[in-house]
Amino acid sequence: MSTTLQNLVNQPYQHGFVSDIESDVAPKGLSEDTIRLISAKKNEPEWLLELRLKAYQQWLKMEEPQWPNVHYPKIDFQAISYYSAPKPKKTLASMDEVDPELLRTFEKLGVPMNERAKLAGVAVDVIFDSVSVATTYKAKLAEVGIIFCSISEAVRDHPDLVRKYLGSVVPVGDNYYAALNSAVFTDGSFCFIPKGVKCPMDLSTYFRINTENSGQFERTLIIAEEGASVSYLEGCTAPKFDTNQLHAAVVELVALDNADIKYSTVQNWYAGDENGLGGIYNFVTKRGLCKGVNSRISWTQVETGSAITWKYPSCVLRGDNSVGEFYSVALTNHYQQADTGTKMIHLGKNTRSTIVSKGISAGHSNNSYRGLVRIAPTAAGARNYSQCDSMLIGEQCGANTFPYIQVNNPSAKVEHEASTSKIGEDQLFYFAQRGIGAEEAVSMIINGFCKDVFQQLPMEFAVEATKLLGLKLEGSVG
């Protein structure tokens, strides 16, 4: 049985190919000049250049953090090219004008964008490397006053909004990689939902890292005004390379009074081969601020890719009665490493948070949940429930749980639970008895294990995630 399972686990990465699009690549290395170059290329206003330089100055003074439970060779930040964009073309009026090579890439990924966008009723803002090339459904969104565009466009067209919120949740000097991102970010998505508007469709973005050795420093900013609500989806795949690629993104969410933001991620970047060679370093800072009363921010993530995943989508619950949620499935195989979790910072009264984390480790991988629940003295009546379950597949992998619970208010109620399990011979035998093969049984057990999280995903993503997990894990049980 174990050989069958082994074969199943060791499926080659299906999305590994490099599309040959001429890139406008900046010379390698990081300096003030690089930052000025990025800023100039993008025709940015003076204040943004200042913000970048300030972040760079702070970054220079910071040290690379050592506390995460991940190991990797030291990153040479001077060996990275900080800007790469598909060759500038005239502004595109329709899909026909998109580079055919680019379209072919999406074809291979099984994302016929134009069709899929229509079928699913999803507006897809495609990010290819660092610059947005196509935006659909923009007009439809504009009708209700929603701004959904690349962050570069937002800087150009809505500078006041960007200036007001950029860096307000994740300050430029927040941490090492956030500072780096603030200094060199090239593009990302911007979304603004005005007062009282419920976004009529799920917004989603597809990311691809394409040019070899180009770290992608992407910046996302989502603002939901009073009473607004939005569901944002992010899905990722990346081609196969042998050198490691750094991805240090920053995502900021701001929810004002009664606003509701749901942010879902399916991450399937190249994880390196079965010997742990190559793969993406995914060092991401994601944070949401429940600024207003009764606001709600919900993170859902399915992390299956990347050689190293290191991210803690967090909620700062400042508004009274605000709600933070975190639902996560993190799967590691071969030599993948994941140190992921969340931070729930309760500041307002009667704030509530829920954490459901499912970690699955197979092969030689190492999967850690690291979470913080902090109840400030001001957070009277705060409530948290955390549940962290780990599943181990094979004897060489590791599963760790590091929950930090800091409570400074007696009226708060905090609960944390964690458990560990495995896929046992007897479970597989039970399935076999009923005529279900090992492969399918594993898939069913995993799906059952992750059900609480998958339920939170939008429909199409739930289907995709279920398939992805099955594919990634097939063959790893013996």
Nearer residue to other proteins within complex by CB, 66 or 94: 66
CA distances from 85 to 23, 174, 314 (A): 5, 27, 30
Taking the complex as a whole, how short is the minimal distance between the CB of residue 180 and other proteins, in angstroms?
Answer: 23
Rounded to a whole number of angstroms, the CA Rg of the chain reads: 22
The set of residues, in sequence order, having a beta carbon less than 8 Å from that of 100 and lying 6+ positions away, is none
Helix (H, G, I), strand (E, B) or coil at 161: helix
Q: What is the DSSP string of 299-350?
A: EEEEE---SEEEE--EEEE-STT-EEEEEEEEEE-TT-EEEE--EEEE-STT
Nearer residue to other proteins within complex by CB, 156 or 416: 416
Tokens describing residue 39: 């800023």
Nearer residue to other proteins within complex by CB, 88 or 410: 410
Residues in touch with other proteins (CB under 8 A): 67, 375, 377, 390, 392-422, 424
Taking the complex as a whole, how short is the minimal distance between the CB of residue 188 and other proteins, in angstroms?
Answer: 33
Nearer residue to other proteins within complex by CB, 20 or 395: 395
Taking the complex as a whole, how short is the minimal distance between the CB of residue 267 and other proteins, in angstroms?
Answer: 24
Taking the complex as a whole, how short is the minimal distance between the CB of residue 76 and other proteins, in angstroms?
Answer: 27
Nearer residue to other proteins within complex by CB, 404 or 430: 404
Nearer residue to other proteins within complex by CB, 399 or 438: 399
Taking the complex as a whole, how short is the minimal distance between the CB of residue 42 and other proteins, in angstroms?
Answer: 39
Name 287's bridge partners: 252, 314
- The answer to whether 328 and 356 have CB atoms below 8 angstroms apart is yes
**Extended beta strands in 350-454, E state:** 352-362, 366-375, 383-393, 398-407, 413-422
Which amino acid makes up residue 359?
A: G
Taking the complex as a whole, how short is the minimal distance between the CB of residue 477 and other proteins, in angstroms?
Answer: 10
Taking the complex as a whole, how short is the minimal distance between the CB of residue 360 and other proteins, in angstroms?
Answer: 11
Nearer residue to other proteins within complex by CB, 116 or 416: 416
Handedness of CA 418, 389, 4, 244 (dihedral sign): negative
The set of residues, in sequence order, having a beta carbon less than 8 Å from that of 477 and lying 6+ positions away, is 1, 2, 5, 393, 394, 423, 428, 438, 442
